[in-house]
Structure 1
């Protein structure tokens, strides 16, 4: 790939679905990126700001704690990611404060000040509903095909509400499956980068797995 004097990759030519010549830019997302699944790397080809090809890999993210306080903090951290990526910094900051309190005190969800209030605030937001509704909906069949947990059914808004409910009720997620990176890559094809990050955050990814071979998917 040609590089600019500053080391930034230059766009190359490529055809879109209508046969028009468009610039193609290669970018890498992860593994170090705010509100991003730990260890995930996506090598993306973009036409405009739309992901048209993805090569996925996973790096070792290490083991994480499994006690109740960590489980609640993780649920809240996932919530922070979706709210922040959706542009609602106020609610994300509120969730972040509750997460920090959970880690510091070890309190149960019902004892954490502000958690139920945040839950009501998220559910009442029409702007949030409008911005996430219809974003990468998944049917039960698609969820099974991609090896996703049953709570991934629906769109990004549905997944956020379930995520909020799990945090508020202290539901543990010990039985969540290991996500295969090639399946995650398929889910971001055809999305712009901002939408792709939101979709991945809404899936509440805990563990990632990949074969030794690299996985590349493209927009058909």
Structure 2
């Protein structure tokens, strides 16, 4: 009787160990499968690349020198130096074309417009001054609208953030923006423009 009980106890112990090993193996397999799935999901997220057809971008003449735009007294460039709030000798900018991202590199100038003393920044005035200027000189409008809903595209555009001498400045993903391009003196230029009730921003890049 004692031998029988001993055998049953040993058998139960072996069965329990085998069950635990099986469960552990299955858990490891599930964890491995989950990690593989997550890795594949990350790898499958690609950003659609696009290009600017420079053959259809106009070459403009008699528009002055970089950064080209000079505001009236009604608009104030904050911390202005040589027509800019911030300047970067060499930077990268992600430009949305409406269907994909075009990456450009070169020197980048940033104009930041805010309150001017007692005179508050006026978003409508900013838009009524900047956009008609670009249309008047003949710059090509590449895009004008809201941030794309695609998460990969949004993440790429959120890379448009630069640490300057006075501030960190970039595109906000909760506000509409516009992209323009033109050629001047055989050099290519891309602009990103964005505004809200507190400020307006113009990013202009001369491509290398």
The two structures have a TM-score, normalised by structure 2, of 0.25
Structure showing greater radius of gyration is 2
Instruction: Judging by fraction of residues, say which structure has more strand.
Output: 2
Instruction: Judging by fraction of residues, say which structure has more helix.
Output: 1
The two structures have a TM-score, normalised by structure 1, of 0.24
